[in-house]
Amino acid sequence: MPRELDGLMQPRPLTIAHVLERAERLFAHKHVVTAGGERLTYGEVAGNVRRLATALDSLGVPVGARVATFASNSRRHLELYLGVPATKRVLHSINIRLSAEHLEYIVTHAEDDVVFVDRGLLPRIWPSADRLPGVRHWVVLPDGTDEPIPADPRISHYDDLIAAEPFEGSFEDTFTLADEHLASGLCYTSGTTGRPKGVLYSHRSTILHCLGTLAAGLIGLCESDVVLPIVPMFHANAWGLPYGAVMAGASLVLPGASADPAHLLGLMEAERVTVAGAVPTVWASLAPHLHDHELSATRFLLGGGSAVAPALSETYRAAIGVPITHSWGMTEISPVGAIGGTRTQHRDATDDELVAVRAAQGQPLPLVNLRIVDVETGRELPRDGQAVGELQVAGPWVAGGYFRVAGDGSFTGDGWLRTGDLATLDAEGYLRLVDRMKDLIKSGGEWISSVELEAAISSHPGVAEVAVIGRPDPRWMERPVAYVVLRDGSAATADELLDHITPMVAKWWLPDDFVFLPTLPKTGTGKLAKNTLRDSARIA
Ligand code: ADP
């Protein structure tokens, strides 16, 4: 009877402490730039992380405790990204745009022991402090603002705290983790349907996610890159870009709180950013200003969180020679599961075919498995690019459950995560999202994809932003309605938009109405808040 044979390699754990050690040893000279002109080396950052480790001990923050951040993308936030997990505590990054109710719910649910908060964000969270008695310490992070700091014994100042703490331990004693399965981070899902749920990452899942996204041919971060995560560090680990950049030894540019296009594009130009990531609404806001900046250093733009309309990606390709590459993911997937773009088999493709390939959400990262199943029967569907089913995902950086939630229906009996996305997979492994199950429009027994309609409408040059939702209809059940924001100077009318999309979609997909608005409502992570639109359509 043949026996399986064990390998004889070292079972060394995969930990974030190693990322810190590597940055200190190999990349101490590389820079972290924060908006406002602050420029520190990884060597200096690592020194601060050592002092932060001592400070957390002095505050009596136990191992395994949740340490929250309520902060924009900055060098101090990066120090917490490294120092909190590397000392066996758990980094809980909180979305700064949550309502007070959700905020108080998740801080209480996570049992946060300490909250590190940007000075300028104090007004958004301090009013909740008395309803959060479990938080023993509030530490203020300087952010260039002069927001008044309340006189309260619970409050301390980050720079004072770490300045007072010379690091005297040894790196090994302070940062060595024996177990890669320890929790490293905690992020809550947005809670657009029901209560927010916590996704508890481990050191192992975080490192593997990093290596998966670092792989050449995907994002392929390398030492010569200058990486700008515009996607917030409070949103799903900023797509792994901060840890990935530190691991690769790339320079990091952290843009602070401002989403002003001139600020972001100015940083890209001045720092010669090579790789940047943002949600499509941010890319759309930068698009009209691309020609005002010299962006020749840029080699890769990542867009995700919601579908990147082909017209938007093409605008970037035309202006700076770099399209926006899709990344598909979820908070539950650390968050990246698939990355788009063309491969060698597309070398001879026509321009139109290439646009269609780029519109796909891409191929799964190494170690990630995708399948689509029939929503009703749960049967797996063929990978033929035609069959539409619910997308399910499995892999070593995919959640297997939620923090302190028992028996959640989000997981299948064989342990796959149900994504709530409807998609096709083709024979080459390309994933194409059709819609979120809850955003699909049901009209007369047939489905209409809001994503496809949005892509068609946004290809009109006068359209800056568009959201399509289903409006209740007595005859058809639902009919599509498009909410449109026009570009400055455009006077496009509903008839003009209808004419524009008529050749692109089936006749019965044409929206019943176009509603023109000055802005569209957004969720905390910058996605279109379709629930808000659906509510107003129901009332109207
Ligand atoms: P939420 O949007 O609920 O806050 P996430 O940020 O985790 O939570 O979003 C996950 C969802 O975002 C996915 O299930 C999918 O519907 C959508 N999404 C993410 N990336 C893409 C993409 N590249 N294209 C289209 N939809 C995307």
Listed by start position, the domains of the chain span 43-208, 441-539
At 351 the pLDDT is 94
Is residue 404 packed enough to be buried (19+ CB in 10 Å), middle (13-18) or exposed (0-12)? exposed
In this structure, the residue with its CA closest to atom 5 of ligand 1 is: 330
Q: Which residues, other chains included, contact 266 with Cβ-Cβ below 8 Å and sequence gap of 6+?
A: 293
DSSP 158: H
Ligand 1 site, residue 329, Cβ cutoff 6 A: yes
Catalytic residue among 54, 189, 274, 525: 189
Beta strands in 230-345 (DSSP E): 251-254, 275-278, 300-304, 324-329, 336-339
pTM confidence score: 0.92
441-539 matches 43-208 in CATH topology: no
Ligand 1 site, residue 330, Cβ cutoff 6 A: yes
Question: 436 alpha carbon to ligand 1 midpoint, in Å?
Answer: 8
pLDDT at 412 over 70: yes
Question: 98 alpha carbon to ligand 1 midpoint, in Å?
Answer: 17
At 152 the pLDDT is 97
Q: Catalytic: 189?
A: yes
The tens digit of pLDDT for each residue in 356-405 reads 999 999 999 999 999 999 998 999 999 999 999 999 999 999 999 999 99
In this structure, the residue with its CA closest to atom 11 of ligand 1 is: 330
Q: For the domain made up of 43-208, give the CATH fold.
A: Rossmann fold (3.40.50)
For the range 175-180, what are the long-range contacts, defined as Cβ-Cβ under 8 Å and sequence gap of 24 or more? 175/17, 175/20, 175/21, 175/53, 175/86, 175/87, 176/17, 177/13, 177/15, 177/17, 177/86, 177/88, 177/203, 178/13, 179/13, 179/203, 180/13, 180/14, 180/15, 180/204, 180/207
The tens digit of pLDDT for each residue in 182-191 reads 999 999 997 6
Give yes or no for a contact between 104 and 58, defined as CB atoms under 8 angstroms apart.
Answer: no
At 523 the pLDDT is 81
Whole-angstrom distance, CA of residue 272 vs CA of residue 295: 7
Q: Catalytic: 438?
A: no
At 165 the pLDDT is 84
Is residue 459 packed enough to be buried (19+ CB in 10 Å), middle (13-18) or exposed (0-12)? middle
Its CATH architecture, for the domain 441-539, is 2-Layer Sandwich (3.30)
